[in-house]
Amino acid sequence: MRKSLTKRKKTKKIKYFKFSLKLSQKQKEIIEVYCKRRNTTSNKLIKTAIKEYLIRYEKEFPIFTGIGDNQLVLFTFDEENDTVSIASE
């Protein structure tokens, strides 16, 4: 049996999360009518609305990437000279 010469890249697993929410009967009917007229599903409508909202406001609420108080600092960054050095206490 002959093996393939090219290696396939492993695809990164995407984590999905479940959310549940409650809508009134009127809101449900409005969504159903909108989806029927636009030939889409309610799930796609909600995902698109959330995606557009997050894109619009991502600059106002950046993801925190700071270093915690209990984390070890290995390197110091000098922004003026654009250099990196080993941290010393």
Q: Angle at which helices 42-57 and 25-38 pack, to 10 degrees? A: 100
* DSSP one-letter code for 7: P
Cα angle, residue 34 at apex, residues 28 and 52 outer, rounded to 5° = 95
Q: Give the pLDDT of residue 22.
A: 95
Q: Give the pLDDT of residue 40.
A: 96
Q: Give the pLDDT of residue 49.
A: 94
Q: Give the pLDDT of residue 65.
A: 66
CA dihedral 34, 42, 39, 50 (to 10 degrees): 90
pLDDT per 10-residue tile (average), the chain, 89 residues: 71 90 96 96 94 87 70 73 69
State how far the Cα of 36 lies from the Cα of 28, in Å rounded to an integer. Answer: 12
Residues 6+ apart with CB under 8 A from 22: none
